[in-house]
Amino acid sequence: MAYRPSLPALLAGLALSVGLSTAQAQEPIKIGMLLTLSGPPAVLGEHIRDAFMLAVKERDGQLGGVPVEVSVVDDELKPDSAVTKAQALVERDQVDFVVGTVFSNVMMAVFKPITESETFLISPNAGPSPLAGRACSPFYFNVAWQNDANHEVMGQYATNEGYERVILLAPNYQAGRDSMAGFKRYYQGEVLDEIYTQLGQLDFSAELARIAAAKPDALFTFMPGGMGVNLVKQYEQAGLAGTTPFLSAFTVDETTLPATQAAALGMNAGSQWAPNLNNPQNQAFVEAFEAEYGYAPSLYASQGYDTALLLDSAIRTVEGNVRAKGPLREALRAADFDSVRGDFRFNTNHFPVQDYYLVEAVQDEDGDFVTRMVARVFEDHADAYVDECGM
């Protein structure tokens, strides 16, 4: 005779089944953050991490209505070490997303190990030109910019200001080379010299002597983190600040201004974000960030926060089913969130189309050294490599 369970047994089994389904639905989504968190550039990674975690905290430890576990790993700005750590996140920890990196040389090292595992890699900063073009991947999204873009702002600005002769200064790695390419794409004057330094260099006396001897109309530079702090201070000490305009991107911002302070006042930079962008999401973000951490957010923080908002929107769209790669990719592409930058969308290569601004270092009413947007330079600006992407 076949066994027929009693009604109480059926109900108990049904309850167990529902309980298991609920537990499975609430299984935490795993996110690995691979950021530079040591050495002079650590502040960049700290801003990204802090802003991302602020967004998670505001959502009670959830993104898209699902609990998340965030593992934060320091790549130490060492590509070889970063590959090992990225593989551990993907293979051992089986994360659903990797959020990283800060520096482009690290990104170029970890890109294939992560994307070839069909793990979504979401960049809150590094945007190397190869990944926007021929090496683009359906598993890679950049929530910041393509490396050239903020430098293109300053090339256009230098042209607008009539600077006929300039010198370019950047570290010798992918982002440094992209910075010079971006500036030159929109600059119509003469480039007197292109000076490459070592990544992490902190003494610029030889380079500054070379600049002073050439007497350019302006200097354009890309020196993030501690490199930028030292360069700005040494630029003023060399007497160049009063004679040669200092144009930059990722050199004069809220990660460096607490250290450079008055030495950077009045210096201009290119950016896709500023604390005074007038939209409700940005105003709420700046206020919440300062209340939570006690310091002013930078463009890096804005990118970290938007990265969390992107994941929040995509996870909600797929109802937490992050194993369904196709629908999840479409949800990420939709970028259905209110960015702190205002209008934001992804191009076909998964890089942003957005506005870019000229910003200036100022001292606000509270005495803090911050940046302020003074003009929009590009509207709905796309990167220069999108047509090379085959997606």
Angle between helix axes 149-160 and 174-186 (nearest 10 degrees) is: 30
- Neighbour-count burial of 263, counting CB atoms closer than 10 A to its CB (0-12 exposed, 13-18 middle, 19+ buried): buried
- The span from the CA of 101 to the CA of 310, in Å, is 16
DSSP E strands in the chain: the ranges are: 29-35, 62-63, 66-74, 97-99, 120-123, 140-142, 165-171, 190-197, 218-221, 246-248, 268-271, 345-346, 352-363, 369-381
Q: Is 323 helix (H, G, I), strand (E, B) or coil?
A: coil
Same domain (yes/no): 66, 106:
yes
Question: Is residue 374, in this structure, part of any structural domain at all?
Answer: yes
- The span from the CA of 283 to the CA of 248, in Å, is 25
Same domain (yes/no): 261, 307:
no
Same domain (yes/no): 71, 140:
yes
Same domain (yes/no): 135, 250:
no
Same domain (yes/no): 202, 260:
yes
Question: Is residue 5, in this structure, part of any structural domain at all?
Answer: no
- The span from the CA of 101 to the CA of 114, in Å, is 12
Full-model pTM? 0.91
Same domain (yes/no): 251, 162:
yes
Same domain (yes/no): 139, 182:
no
Please name the residue that has the structure tokens 């630029």.
235
User: Beta-carbon neighbour count of residue 33 at 10 Å?
Assistant: 27
Residue 213 has a pLDDT of: 97
Question: Is residue 133, in this structure, part of any structural domain at all?
Answer: yes
Asked if 64 and 311 count as a contact pair (C-beta separation under 8 A), the reply is yes
- The span from the CA of 51 to the CA of 308, in Å, is 8
- The span from the CA of 156 to the CA of 159, in Å, is 5
DSSP tally for the chain: helices H, then strands E = 13, 14
Question: Is residue 6, in this structure, part of any structural domain at all?
Answer: no
- Identify any residues that bridge with 194 across adjacent strands, giving them in sequence order: 168
Residue 15 has a pLDDT of: 40
Same domain (yes/no): 258, 370:
yes
Residue 21 has a pLDDT of: 42
Question: Is residue 142, in this structure, part of any structural domain at all?
Answer: yes
Same domain (yes/no): 315, 346:
yes
Question: Is residue 194, in this structure, part of any structural domain at all?
Answer: yes
Question: Is residue 103, in this structure, part of any structural domain at all?
Answer: yes
Residue 352 has a pLDDT of: 98
Residue 6 has a pLDDT of: 42
- The span from the CA of 127 to the CA of 137, in Å, is 13
- The span from the CA of 145 to the CA of 275, in Å, is 17
Asked if 36 and 44 count as a contact pair (C-beta separation under 8 A), the reply is yes
Q: Which structure tokens are listed for 61?
A: 């430890």
Q: Is the dihedral of CA 363, 366, 367, 369 positive or negative?
A: negative
Domain count, the chain: 2
Residue 20 has a pLDDT of: 38
Give the structural domain span for 300. Answer: 27-147+277-354
- Largest Cα–Cα distance in the chain? 101
CATH of the domain at 246: 3.40.50.2300
Q: What share of the chain is helix, strand, coil (3-state, %, to 5)?
A: 45, 20, 35
Same domain (yes/no): 191, 296:
no
Same domain (yes/no): 63, 161:
no
Same domain (yes/no): 366, 225:
yes
Phi first, then psi, for residue 85 (nearest 5°) are -70, -35
Q: Is 192 helix (H, G, I), strand (E, B) or coil?
A: strand
Strand 29-35 with 97-99, pairing = parallel
pLDDT in tens, the chain (391 residues): 333 444 333 334 444 434 334 434 569 999 999 999 999 899 999 999 999 999 999 999 999 999 999 999 999 999 999 999 999 999 999 999 999 999 999 999 999 999 999 999 999 999 999 999 999 999 999 999 999 999 999 999 999 999 999 999 999 999 999 999 999 999 999 999 999 999 999 999 999 999 999 999 999 999 999 999 999 999 999 999 999 999 999 999 999 999 999 999 999 999 999 999 999 999 999 999 999 999 999 999 999 999 999 999 999 999 999 999 999 999 999 999 999 999 999 999 999 999 999 999 999 998 999 999 999 999 999 999 999 999 9
Question: Is residue 8, in this structure, part of any structural domain at all?
Answer: no
Cis status of the peptide bond prior to 101, with omega within 30 of 0: yes
Q: Residue 108 belongs to what H/E stretch?
A: helix 104-115
The Cα angle at residue 235 between residues 48 and 145, in degrees rounded to 5: 30
